[in-house]
Amino acid sequence: MMIKKNILVLCTGNSCRSQMAEGYLKYFAGDKAEIYSAGIEVHGLNQHAVQVMREDGINISYHTSNHIDEYQNIEFDFVITVCDHAQEICPYFSGKSKKIHQNFPDPAKYTGAEFEIDLFFIKVRDMIKIYCEKFVQENL
């Protein structure tokens, strides 16, 4: 029997980047891992993130925005921080957790016309998708 890996994706608000990464990691990992995402703060699920993920065939509309403290009793194999802020204040995880950091730009902070914001979300989504697919190939 294969033992599933526990993977946590951590960012500041658990609204965009970590949510998109959770969606792609679930997609690419299948039944090889349990995927969680959380934030140092909780900002709620960003609807732009939901929209651009849906456009790529991944439904994250049922995701919830979770605080890191909700997962303190889970032993993670990997903790992936997807923003510099989360890496800087990432809580200590005991045991075998392997910390990995990959900063992505924050699409929620992007300003401009609506179509420009949409394009930036798509750009960040695609960066996250490539990263997640590679992560699963190399670690699972």
Give the start-to-end residue ranges of the domains of the chain: 5-139
pLDDT tens digits, residue range 65-118?
A: 999 999 988 999 999 999 888 777 766 666 688 999 999 999 999 999 999 999
Residue 11 annotated as catalytic: yes
Q: What is the 3-class SS of 64-107, one letter each residue?
A: CCCEHHHHCCCCCCEEEECCHHHHHHCCCCCCCCEEEECCCCCH
Nearest to 60 by CA among 42, 35, 90: 35
Question: Could you say which of 49, 50, 53, 83 is catalytic?
Answer: 83
Residue 90 annotated as catalytic: yes
Query: Which superfamily, per CATH, for 5-139?
Result: Response regulator (3.40.50.2300)
pLDDT tens digits, residue range 36-48?
A: 999 988 989 999 9
Output the pTM of the full model.
0.94
Residue 16 annotated as catalytic: no
Question: Could you say which of 7, 8, 10, 11 is catalytic?
Answer: 11
